Structure 1
Amino acid sequence: MNDKVKEAYNQLANDYEHNVDTKSLFNTEYERPAMMKLLPTDVRDKHVLDAGCAAGWYTSQFVNLGAVVTATDISPKMVEATKRRIGEKAEVFCLDLEKELPFENESFDVIVSSLVLHYIKDWSNPFSEFLRILKPNGTLLFSVHHPFMDIKLSENGDYFSTEYIVDQWKREGKLIDVPFYRRPLQEILSETISYFSLEKIVEPQPTKEFQVKEPEKYEKLMRNPHFFIVKAVKDK
């Protein structure tokens, strides 16, 4: 699975670097605004991990907010894109979140993982590592596919199963197979609270700018959520 995700995102890297920030309303006017609202009020001089940084949009936001930023991604080409974007302003590593992370215990104040965890079948290792490297009272903020969206792509139709799915994305004139895991809402929340204290869950709604640019898609998203956001905290 890791190799397939890496291959998919190596193919998507150019599109993410040059198009997503301006052309993908699902990112710019839907997921990202909702995630940014949930960040701690002041991250200046805080140590922030961008876990699954893609082409570095979140990385650059955290840098601009004055944080000390570390970014990781499983795709070498995404890592290269992030480095081009932020230069020496953050440390960027090519890492697999399913493996042990090369960071000291309690070294981060905030971990942000945007639309990444649904590519991982078993969350026990990433969550164990996030717990280890987060400081007491540190924040974990992550977004994933909404289960109500993913069930529409299901082949077995069993909402309560964890199911491997291969979606196809058309980018730059070619179809790219993008594999991920669909899971029920109770599993997302139960896995989270096994490691962290739940602070907030959000089913984001698109911005008014989304409505102006894509009114039909806006109306669909207002009735059928595509993403699910969780904010959790490490206990003392």
Structure 2
Amino acid sequence: MSVEPDKANDYDSFGEAYSAENETNLNNAYYERPAMLNLAGDVAGRRILDAGCGSGPLSAALRERGAVMTGFDGSAKMVELARRRLGDDADLRVADLAEPLPYPDNAFDDVVASLVLHYLEDWTAPLAELHRVLKPGGRLIMSVNHPFLPKLIDPRADYFSVYEWSDECTFNGQKGVLRNWHRPLHAMTDAFTAAGFHTAVISEPPPAPEAHELFAEELAGRKAFLSFLFFVLEAV
């Protein structure tokens, strides 16, 4: 679908509805966030940057597990919501992942980037910045739209090309448009290597165990489903 540039990914306008929807839905609350937490493992005492923190649910969960959290988002509304969740003293900023980040070199043990990079056409500068702020050996734990998803939606889609696609969604009763960039798996891993990362894990996990009871109809007969793809990358 064709979307006016200023109408897509406008989290300042639909951020509150998006955040409310994602508190309890299957894809975010019972699939994506549990998978990110499982991949992060024991984070007690680790300094973690939440890149594209949204309203802060992942930051809150990691902080509960003992991590020292810092976060940023490109949307002022989402940062406002994150501050409501995490408190006025939380280290949160409005910043653009496509621009130089306001953090020193080697500042973090881990970076989490939850459903962020697929909004960007070019991953070169963002991955370089995330590598810069990580300590040597630090981890980038990230999720993106599964690269087979556009092909599942439209069998005519060209899996091997990098291209823009948009999706009109309803968040807690409010409509919004998300504009994404598809890239095949090899393009992702090539970008990771070029930025100085070693790909340690590629994961296609099942949802949280309790999801099968809460979403019995949606998950009937399925142990897992295609939605997101997860990576753990190590800064080398």
TM-score by length of 1: 0.90
Report the equivalent of 1:32: 33
| Count of residue correspondences | 232
- Judge which range, 209-218 or 30-39, deviates more: 209-218
Higher helix share: 1
Amino acid at match of 2:69: V
Report the equivalent of 2:15: 13
1:122-161 superposed Cα distances (whole Å, 9 cap, x missing partner)? 0001100011110011010000010111223459621111
Change (3 A) 1:113 1:85: same
Q: Does 1:70 align with 2:70?
A: yes
1:89-112 superposed Cα distances (whole Å, 9 cap, x missing partner)? 521111110000011010111000
The 1-side partners of 2:130 and 2:16 are apart by: 29
Cα-Cα RMSD: 2.1
Change (3 A) 1:50 1:3: farther
Post-superposition shift, 1:223?
5.7
1:185-196 counterparts in 2 under 5 A? 185-194=185-194, 195-196=196-197
The 2-side partners of 1:129 and 1:187 are apart by: 18
The 2-side partners of 1:233 and 1:174 are apart by: 38
Answer whether contact 1:4 1:179 (CA < 8 A) is retained.
no
Change (3 A) 1:66 1:224: closer
Amino acid at match of 1:226: S
**Structure 2 SS opposite 1:147:** coil
Amino acid at match of 1:115: L
1:66-145 counterparts in 2 under 5 A? 66-145=66-145
Amino acid at match of 1:229: F
Amino acid at match of 2:13: Q
The 1-side partners of 2:101 and 2:202 are apart by: 26
The 1-side partners of 2:205 and 2:7 are apart by: 28
Which blocks of at least 5 consecutive residues in structure 2 are unaligned?
none
- Judge which range, 211-220 or 159-168, deviates more: 211-220
The 2-side partners of 1:203 and 1:36 are apart by: 14
- Judge which range, 89-98 or 135-144, deviates more: 89-98
Change (3 A) 1:30 1:21: same
